[in-house]
Amino acid sequence: MAFQNILGNSRVKAILSKSLQRNRVPHSLLFIGPEGVGKKEMALVVAKALNCQKKTENSCEECTSCVAINKKNFPDVMEVSPQKDVIKIEQMRLLKSTTYLKPMVGKKRVFIITDAEKMSEEASNSLLKILEEPPSFSHIFLLYLRIYCYSILLLISYNCFIWLFSSSTSLITISLVFSFIKSKNP
* Contact set with Zn ion (CB under 5 A): 52, 54, 60, 63, 66
Q: Residue 36 Cβ, how far from Zn ion at the closest point, in Å?
A: 26
Task: Give 41 or 115: the residue with its C-beta nearer to Zn ion.
Answer: 41
- For the beta carbon of residue 38, count every other beta carbon within 10 angstroms: 21
Q: Residue 60 Cβ, how far from Zn ion at the closest point, in Å?
A: 3
Q: Residue 58 Cβ, how far from Zn ion at the closest point, in Å?
A: 9
Region of residue 144 (phi > 0: left; psi between -120 and 50: alpha; otherwise: beta): beta
Calculate the alpha carbon distances from 39 to 29, 98, 113 in Å: 11, 23, 11
Task: Give 66 or 164: the residue with its C-beta nearer to Zn ion.
Answer: 66
User: Closest Cα to residue 50, out of 38, 63, 37?
Assistant: 63
- For the beta carbon of residue 55, count every other beta carbon within 10 angstroms: 18
Task: Give 93 or 107: the residue with its C-beta nearer to Zn ion.
Answer: 107
Task: Give 15 or 63: the residue with its C-beta nearer to Zn ion.
Answer: 63
Residues 10, 169: contact at Cβ < 8 Å?
A: yes
Q: Residue 93 Cβ, how far from Zn ion at the closest point, in Å?
A: 31
